[in-house]
Amino acid sequence: MRFDTILFDLDGTLTDSAPGITGSVRYALTTMGKPVPDDLTCFVGPPLKYSFMTFTGMDEDEAQMAIQHYVSRYIDEGGMFENSVYDGIIDMLARLKAAGIRSVIATSKHEPIAVRIADRFGLSPYLDGVYGSDRDAGRTEKADVIRYALDGMGITDSSRPLMVGDRDYDSKGAHDVGIACMGILWGYGSREEFAACGTEYIVSTPNEAADLILDRALRVKS
């Protein structure tokens, strides 16, 4: 395959957003009087409704209430900025941009929040777009966001884009849409979960990711 457009997950892939996410999840569960699991990193990446229902056993109504509490801390109190860019990410994005490879964010995070994070942490100059979820528009699953991003970039050839993410959720979403995925190991996923869902490429560092992408790049004509 020869790639000209890279779709990056945000949480756990470009930024280490766990402190803000897990702190906000803990706040939501505590506020609702629910038990707080010892490890909340499973909440980094997947949609919140799915995570609250899957990892805490909430029903749909409880999950919606938990999301409201989560949002009050994550957005209103600045939890979204309890975040940091992984080492090597800016260099990776700069290498891709210099080579004429388009990079966009495709995240399950609500799109306006993703835009604010990309701006705040200096990612935006290297990106050609930020695409996120929108429950009102029916974009709740990773595959929905990926389709939205591909439509936004005008891509119809499924051999041209590559999804890059840190969880099997990213890989499954990519495969549902018919595109390849690169699993990265500096986030919250594992080699085993990527192998189990047939992820095409698995890399350990941002530099290794850039090397592989550039080796298989189909450069866009300016």
Residues annotated catalytic, as ranges:
9
Cβ within 8 Å of residue 210, ≥6 positions away:
91, 92, 95, 96
Q: What residues form DSSP beta bridges with 8? A: 105, 164
Nearest to 28 by CA among 16, 43, 17, 11: 43
The answer to whether 70 touches 47, Cβ cutoff 8 Å, is no
Cα distances (angstroms) measured from residue 56 to each of 27, 31, 35, 60, 135: 14, 14, 8, 11, 21
